[in-house]
Amino acid sequence: MDRIREIVQERGMEDPSELGAILKSEMLNILGDEAENQRMCQFEAERSEHSPFAIMVLGVNGVGKTTTIGKLAARYKREGKRVLVAAGDTFRAAGVDQLDIWCNRAGVELIKGNQGSDPAAVVFDAIHAAQAREVDVLIVDTAGRLHTKKPLMEELAKIGRVMKRELPGSPHEVLLVVDATTGQNAIIQAKMFNEAVPITGIALTKLDGTAKGGIVIAIRDELGVPVKFIGIGQEIDDLRDFSAKDFVEALFVEEQPA
């Protein structure tokens, strides 16, 4: 808004109808370069000698983390990649069961431990299983209890350390799943997760209803983290590459009354 006020003053603008184009332009500037947003989506990261390509997925409970992992696994499987998923959220039996269902749908294998077991130990086993089986992509699920609980952040940091130790250079991507209906609290979530494990991308879920998801503009502005995916439904192929241009245009579409 500060930048928009500057532009209005610089140009001596008096017609409010001209503000829409300026708003869109400034939002696009914040959301960043399209090529950067899609770098991981297109799987262009060079595979190092330390295969596989490891993706760590973060997010509080209820944001659609499990479904996003399932959709992501299915996407890479369709591209011909060998995929393995690690059930790093060992405290929610229902969460592991749900992840198992999504992995079956995607046709990929799931590595899991006993309920309540050390999540880092499950990830350790998954990394070595992925290396032994010459897997291309390893997707690591993590716990999503309330982000205000310090032990959760310590646990995530521990998983990050184990990944880095057992698979140098990993996690190659740290994806934060954000519910599009979340307001300012999403910024707090992003900051706290980012302190535990530096985030490299955002997956914005639940854009299939009236949700707008404009909060990602604030997250992008504050943390510099690009949006990489959007979830638009509950089907396994309802995961799309993020398009900043399409997203900004959608923010300005007036919803028609039912």
**Residue type at 254 in one-letter notation:** E
Dist. CA 227–CA 190, nearest whole Å: 12
**Residue type at 109 in one-letter notation:** E
pLDDT band at 207 (very low <50, low <70, confident <90, very high): confident
Q: What percent of the chain is predicted at pLDDT more than 90? A: 53
**What does the pLDDT look like over 170-189, one tens digit per residue?**
999 999 999 988 888 889 98
pLDDT at 210: 56
pLDDT at 42: 46
pLDDT at 44 > cutoff 50? no
Dist. CA 200–CA 37, nearest whole Å: 10
pLDDT band at 148 (very low <50, low <70, confident <90, very high): low
**What does the pLDDT look like over 61-100, one tens digit per residue?**
999 999 999 999 999 999 999 999 999 998 887 889 999 9
Residues 211/23, Cβ–Cβ less than 8 Å = no
pLDDT at 45: 45
Between residues 244 and 254, which one has the greater pLDDT? 244
